[in-house]
């Protein structure tokens, strides 16, 4: 494989070998079949001026007018409730679908479908009443938030595939089929595995993403709406990939169909020699925009590339960073996040502990171990702890003093580290794949996502 170095002030492309000479010619030829295009980042990881194009507060006058007209129609049709004091907007679909590049009529259809989908599946009630143990079991087999953010303030998730062994997945599937999810969904016709996945996405959109929007970062005028993902596929054989195909497809299809534009950069680490075969499956699960943001890194490029997009304190030690976080851990919050939601590190896994009024001297391990498990939500002026334990509803409200205001230094944060970035060119989308992305009847692993 070749790496493509891209610079904002030069048009010529230079390439160098992606693998050492010890790799076989066959290996190189197979990886060379995955094409690459220019990225939105220069060689040192800095963003180009257009990386916020299409986001709130970075719209052209025509885009701004079109969005407001679209929101007005959605409000009139009962498809969208704007934010009010003490209450968040019903969702951000109008903005997200607009950014996803859909035409006005298509956006209206999609927003209508999403609102109906949420009501039919009682998504809010599902999340707020989800069994804490079932939630935790699901969290352990999907991407996990580290508690940290990249240089733009976007939350960093990590997904370590090798832990999803046949034994672990069999135990998870068995538990998902026999244990409770939510008291509000005992008669739901939606497979239990999908209800669990819905809950994890709701945690992202109701807690992680809005919390990160409230923290100091560059461009604070634009809300955070997506996640950065490190996907570690080292030590995974082709058979394990094949066995996990449906499991991973559930998440990718759900993101495309119901949580648009929530996936930002995806860094793939430890790609084996047979990865081009696996890539043939993966590229069909995502829309072309998401596929274009996937970066494949060799072992020698992991540290430098991740450092160009996130501070070393924001990615795990096993990838060359400084973060004390391993697969399965609860979030290890950075200092700004601790100031707002540090109470979650004191209440214990069940959320039934007490919040100390004195400065905490707890170790990192203690803070992670005591982090509240299960559904929580961030509402700027308060934290809401939801879920159920042993069939009993869990409810706790923790007032906070308000979101942090970014300093001039925070707004001026840029990456100074050098890195080499690889981006995979999305293959031509087939007619069937386009239908998967745009039609309301999108299915997850053969199951229509509705009740």
* Series of mean pLDDT values for 10-residue runs along the chain (451 residues): 34 37 42 38 46 61 69 67 63 48 57 82 96 97 98 98 96 89 90 95 97 94 93 95 91 85 93 89 81 91 97 98 98 97 96 82 94 96 96 96 49 34 35 31 39 37
Distance of CA 446 to the CA centre of its chain: 23
Counting other chains too, the contacts that 123-127 makes at CB distance below 8 Å and 24 or more residues apart are 123/198, 123/202, 124/202, 125/182, 125/184, 125/185, 126/181, 126/182, 126/184, 126/185, 126/195, 126/198, 126/199, 126/202, 127/182, 127/198, 127/199, 127/202, 127/203, 127/206, 127/375, 127/386
Task: Give the three-class secondary structure for 377.
Answer: strand
| CATH class belonging to 124-438 | alpha beta
Q: What is the pLDDT of residue 63?
A: 67
**What is the C-alpha separation between 295 and 278, in angstroms, rounded?**
15
Sign of CA dihedral 193, 195, 201, 203: negative
**What is the C-alpha separation between 195 and 179, in angstroms, rounded?**
12
* Nearest alpha-carbon partner for 376 in 327, 325, 340: 340
Residue appearing with tokens 């082709």: 238
**What is the C-alpha separation between 283 and 256, in angstroms, rounded?**
12
Q: What is the pTM of this model?
A: 0.73
Cα separations in angstroms, 434 against 55, 255, 258, 267, 321? 23, 15, 15, 24, 38
Helices 166-178 and 132-139, packing angle to 10 deg? 150
Q: What is the pLDDT of residue 417?
A: 33
145-162 in b/e form (b: 16+ CB < 10 A) is: bbbbbbbbbbbbbbbbbe
168-195 in b/e form (b: 16+ CB < 10 A) is: ebeebeeebeeebbbebbeebebbbbbb
Q: What is the pLDDT of residue 77?
A: 63
Task: Give the three-class secondary structure for 148.
Answer: strand
Taking the domains of the chain in order of start, what are their residue ranges? 124-438
Q: What is the pLDDT of residue 257?
A: 83
Q: Rg (Cα) of the chain, in Å, rounded?
A: 22
Tokens read off for 396? 């706790």
């Amino acid at each position: 494989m070749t790496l493509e170095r891209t610079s904002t002030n030069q048009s010529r492309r230079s390439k160098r070998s992606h693998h050492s000479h010890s790799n076989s010619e066959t290996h190189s030829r197979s990886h060379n079949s995955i094409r690459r295009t220019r990225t939105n980042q220069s060689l040192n990881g800095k963003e180009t001026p257009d990386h916020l194009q299409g986001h709130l507060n970075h719209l052209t006058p025509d885009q701004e007018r079109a969005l407001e007209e679209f929101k007005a129609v959605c409000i009139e049709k009962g498809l969208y409730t704007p934010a009010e004091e003490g209450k968040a907007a019903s969702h951000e679909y109008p903005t997200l679908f607009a950014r996803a590049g859909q035409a006005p009529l298509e956006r209206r259809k999609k927003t209508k479908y999403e609102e109906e989908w949420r009501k039919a599946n009682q998504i809010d009630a599902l999340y707020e009443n989800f069994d804490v143990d079932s939630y935790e079991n699901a969290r352990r087999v999907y991407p996990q938030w580290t508690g940290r953010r990249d240089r733009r303030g976007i939350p960093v998730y990590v997904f370590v595939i090798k832990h999803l062994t046949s034994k672990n997945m069999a135990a998870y599937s068995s538990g998902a089929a026999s244990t409770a999810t939510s008291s509000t969904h005992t008669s739901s016709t939606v497979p239990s595995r999908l209800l669990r996945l819905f809950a994890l996405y709701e945690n992202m959109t109701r807690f992680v993403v809005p919390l990160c929007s409230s923290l100091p970062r560059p461009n604070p005028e634009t809300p955070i709406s997506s996640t950065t993902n490190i996907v570690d596929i080292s030590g995974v054989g082709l058979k394990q990939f094949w066995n996990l195909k449906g499991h991973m497809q559930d998440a990718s299809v759900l993101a495309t169909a119901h949580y648009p534009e929530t996936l930002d950069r995806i860094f793939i680490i430890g790609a084996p020699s047979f990865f081009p075969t696996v890539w043939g499956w993966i590229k069909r699960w995502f829309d072309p925009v998401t596929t274009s943001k996937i970066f494949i890194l060799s072992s020698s490029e992991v540290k430098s590339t991740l450092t160009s997009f996130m501070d070393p304190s924001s990615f795990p030690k096993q990838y060359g960073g400084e973060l004390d976080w391993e697969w399965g851990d609860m979030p290890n919050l950075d200092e700004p996040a601790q100031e707002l939601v540090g109470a979650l590190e004191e209440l214990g896994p069940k959320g039934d502990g007490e919040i100390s009024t004195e400065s905490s001297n707890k170790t990192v391990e203690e803070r992670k171990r005591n982090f509240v498990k299960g559904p929580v939500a961030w509402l700027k002026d308060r934290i809401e702890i939801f879920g159920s334990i042993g069939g009993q509803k869990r409810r706790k409200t923790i007032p906070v003093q308000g979101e942090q205001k970014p300093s001039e230094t925070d707004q001026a944060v840029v990456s100074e580290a050098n890195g080499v970035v690889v981006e995979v060119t999305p293959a031509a989308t087939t007619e069937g794949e386009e239908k998967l992305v745009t039609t309301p009847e999108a299915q997850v692993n053969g199951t229509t996502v509705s009740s």
